[in-house]
Amino acid sequence: MLKRPALCIAMCCIAIFMFAQDRKGGDPKLSEYWTPEAKKITPGKTQADPPSDAIVLFNGQDASQWVDTAGKSVKWNVSNGALTVVPKEGMIKTKQKFGDCQLHIEWRSPSEVKGEGQGRGNSGIFLMERYELQVLDSYESKTYVNGQAGSIYKQLPPMVNATRGPGEWQTYDVIFTAPRFYENGLIKSQAIITVFHNGVLVQNHMALWGSTQYIGTAKYEKHGEKESISLQDHGNPVSFRNIWIREL
Ligand code: MG
């Protein structure tokens, strides 16, 4: 057992040693951790190509990953590597359901310009069948800003208008965090979305107000942890291609 003076000396020595270590920057290993290791995947050849852990929802060949609202085979047109809205055939949705995800999707408004505002090249990507990321020809056509391309419809306008011209292929890269609900249906945490339109940040970690509404204010209604992704038939022959998703 150390006597009191010896104990004091020992503690002083430890304090001086630790102070010296701190001044030197200490042991770098103390702030390293090595597990769990990040899963190794193979990225696509370009950022538009699906990485090895992606689920391909449309590869240009067939729409077998999709069904119509009645659960039947889709009647949208598949040709020239694109999946195109056939007006009045209705929305389509993925067979598989998703929650938190990274989504890549390419779209093209018709090269033949018809209509104005919401009537020109309108479609939409409904995350969880509820939260619409607007697809619209917003190249040279005015509409309400929270209804243009890159907006979360009737909620959040895009930070900039990065739209390419009609007939040109465009990309959306989306990072989506699903909302969480309490047992009683009240909202626990809002859905969060980040969107790049043609590589340009247009929604930066934004909280959604609720399910998209055409009339009235968006509000949350409890739904499953995973739901389908749906594409809108708004009466315009908008095309889609190269759709892939990563579950997060
Ligand atoms: Mg729409």
pTM of the entire predicted model? 0.89
In terms of pLDDT, which residue wins out, 86 or 18? 86
Q: Residue 11: which pLDDT band, with cuts at 50, 70 and 90?
A: low
Separation of 152 CA from ligand 1 center, angstroms? Answer: 10
pLDDT score recorded for residue 21: 58
187-201: per-residue pLDDT in tens? 999 999 999 999 999
143-182: per-residue pLDDT in tens? 999 999 999 999 999 999 999 999 999 999 999 999 999 9
Separation of 4 CA from ligand 1 center, angstroms? Answer: 79
In terms of pLDDT, which residue wins out, 13 or 153? 153
Separation of 158 CA from ligand 1 center, angstroms? Answer: 14
Q: Residue 5: which pLDDT band, with cuts at 50, 70 and 90?
A: low
Separation of 212 CA from ligand 1 center, angstroms? Answer: 10
- The per-residue pLDDT of the chain, averaged, comes to 93
Is the pLDDT assigned to residue 51 strictly greater than 70? yes
pLDDT score recorded for residue 25: 67
State the DSSP string of the chain.
---HHHHHHHHHHHHHHHHHHHHHT--GGGG----SPPPP----SSTTSPPTTPEEEE-SS--TTEEETTSSBP-SEEETTEEE--TTS--EEESS-BSSEEEEEEEE--SS--S-GGGSS-EEEEETTTEEEEE---SS----GGGSTTSBTTTB--SS--PPPTTS-EEEEEEEE--EE-TTS-EEE--EEEEEETTEEEEEEEEP-SB--SSS--B-----SSB--EE---SS--EEEEEEEEE-
Separation of 237 CA from ligand 1 center, angstroms? Answer: 12
Quick one: average pLDDT of 42-70? 97
Separation of 168 CA from ligand 1 center, angstroms? Answer: 18
